Homo-oligomer: A and B are copies of this chain.
Amino acid sequence: MAEIVVVFHSGYGHTQRIAQQVADGADAQLIAVDADGNLPAGGWETLAAADAIVFGSPTYMGGPSWQFKKFADASSKVWFTQGWKNKLFAGFTNSAAMNGDKGATITYLWQLAMQHGGLWVSLGIMPSNDKAARRDSPNYVGGYAGLLATSPTDAKPEEMAKGDLDTAYAFGQRIAEVARSRSKG
């Protein structure tokens, strides 16, 4: 079985809920980047052993949170020896506005995976974009390169859209499937 790890930062709990859904769908391990941008003990070793790494960060001021970026910068030690080369990578983000530069965060998560010599997995779930689409339809927010969630600025984590959470779970399943198809050789 493929080892999948979701490494994420969450400022207020919304991104954490998405992370949990992706992890549940992928049967993955969760690693939280803390409020100072650091990993828990054993975090780097867990990442080193993974077949697939899923990056998650809120979108703050048009990009990933500084705590996530601190983790990314710290991964330069691994980059130096290309220790994560050929791993699978994927990503997700959450912000308050429908668009709100979420695409910029996903693009950054991809750039990071590319620096590490990885393979990037798309969301693979078509957007719900006709007149019949509702807020809880699959991929209503409309991502392609990663999972995008929208949580109004005054919504608590428990108020997050069911459709976003369900899409996150399905994304986790997809990542696991792609990872399995590679490791069965």
Contact = CB atoms under 8 A, between A and B. Distances in A.
Interface in A141-185: 141-145, 148, 150, 152-155, 159, 178, 181-182, 184-185
B154 A130 contact: yes
Given A98-B140, A103-B99, A122-B118, A61 B76 contact: yes
Nearest to A154: B130
A69 interface: yes
Interface in A101-121: 101-104, 107-108, 110-121
Interface residues of A, number: 72
Given A99-B142, A153-B130, A184-B185, A115 B62 contact: yes
B182 A148 contact: no
Given A101-B144, A144-B114, A181-B182, A152 B133 contact: yes
Interface in A46-99: 60-67, 69-70, 72-73, 75-76, 79, 82, 85-86, 88, 96-99
A43 interface: no
A112 B62 contact: yes
Contacts of A75: 61
B61 A73 contact: yes
Nearest to A60: B73
Contacts of A82: 126
Contacts of A79: 61
Interface of A: 37, 60-67, 69-70, 72-73, 75-76, 79, 82, 85-86, 88, 96-104, 107-108, 110-124, 126-131, 133, 139-145, 148, 150, 152-155, 159, 178, 181-182, 184-185
25 contacts: A60-B72, A61-B72, A61-B73, A61-B79, A61-B112, A62-B115, A62-B144, A63-B72, A63-B111, A64-B69, A86-B124, A97-B139, A99-B99, A99-B102, A99-B141, A99-B143, A101-B103, A104-B111, A108-B108, A111-B144, A114-B122, A120-B120, A129-B153, A130-B153, A131-B159
